[in-house]
């Protein structure tokens, strides 16, 4: 789409009208070219600006995703640490219970416990030992006699509500 000068103009033998026509054609071509170039520049600028905007949006989404993931991980770590602390407390309680059961087991397996049970349950004694049994004193039962009121029921109610004592 280029404009080529005529051969007479190249030799320098062209008329002014011919030269003017060629120049106006060149101007027209260059003005179209510059307009097209400006449009292309504007289009490139818009694409570039949109790509900057796209990059910013992409970076924003990535940052939000990373922050969300970090927060989620921190929360999970906190919950796990809480559970670990609960389990440590439970372990210490179970160790204490285990220690008491071990002490009881050792006591129940000891000779002194066996002797105690033999004396209490079976009434056994060591050789040369005398057993003394203390019998609780028998107290006579005191029976309270209830006096039965043989007055009619309406009088009982009357006395109950109006407080008339006999």
Tell me what the pLDDT averaged over the chain comes to: 79
Residue 94 lies in a domain: yes
Closest CA to 112 of 120, 134, 132: 120
Instruction: For residue 119, give its domain range.
Output: 7-124
**pLDDT by residue (tens digit) across 152-166?**
888 888 888 887 655
Share of the chain above pLDDT 70, in %: 68
Residue pair 8/18 in contact (Cβ under 8 Å)? The answer is yes
Share of the chain above pLDDT 90, in %: 33
Task: Please give the average per-residue pLDDT across 81-103, as a whole number.
Answer: 97
Residue pair 25/3 in contact (Cβ under 8 Å)? The answer is yes
Residue pair 22/6 in contact (Cβ under 8 Å)? The answer is yes
User: Does pTM surpass 0.85?
Assistant: no
Q: Output the DSSP codes for 29-98.
A: HHHHHHHHHHHHHHHHHHHHHHHHHHHHHHHHHHHHHHHHHHHHHHHHHHHHHHHHHHHHHHHHHHHHHH
Residue 134 lies in a domain: no
Residue 78 lies in a domain: yes
**pLDDT by residue (tens digit) across 46-58?**
666 667 777 888 8
**pLDDT by residue (tens digit) across 2-49?**
445 555 555 555 555 655 555 555 555 555 555 566 666 666 666 666
Whole-angstrom distance, CA of residue 131 vs CA of residue 111: 20
Residue 145 lies in a domain: no
């Amino acid at each position: 789409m280029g404009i080529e000068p005529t051969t007479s103009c190249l030799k320098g033998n062209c008329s002014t009208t011919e030269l003017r026509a060629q120049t106006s054609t060149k101007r027209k071509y260059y003005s179209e070219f510059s307009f097209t170039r400006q449009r292309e520049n504007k289009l490139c600028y818009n694409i570039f600006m949109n790509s900057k905007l796209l990059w910013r949006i992409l970076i924003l989404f990535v940052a939000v995703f990373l922050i969300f993931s970090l927060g989620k991980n921190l929360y999970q770590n906190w919950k796990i640490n809480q559970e670990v602390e609960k389990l440590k407390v439970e372990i210490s309680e179970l160790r204490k219970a285990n220690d008491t059961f071990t002490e009881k087991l050792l006591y129940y397996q000891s000779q002194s416990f066996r002797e105690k049970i033999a004396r209490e349950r079976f009434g056994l004694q060591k050789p040369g030992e005398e057993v003394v049994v203390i019998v609780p004193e028998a107290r006579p039962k005191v029976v309270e006699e209830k006096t039965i009121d043989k007055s009619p029921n309406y009088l009982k109610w009357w006395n109950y509500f109006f407080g008339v004592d006999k």
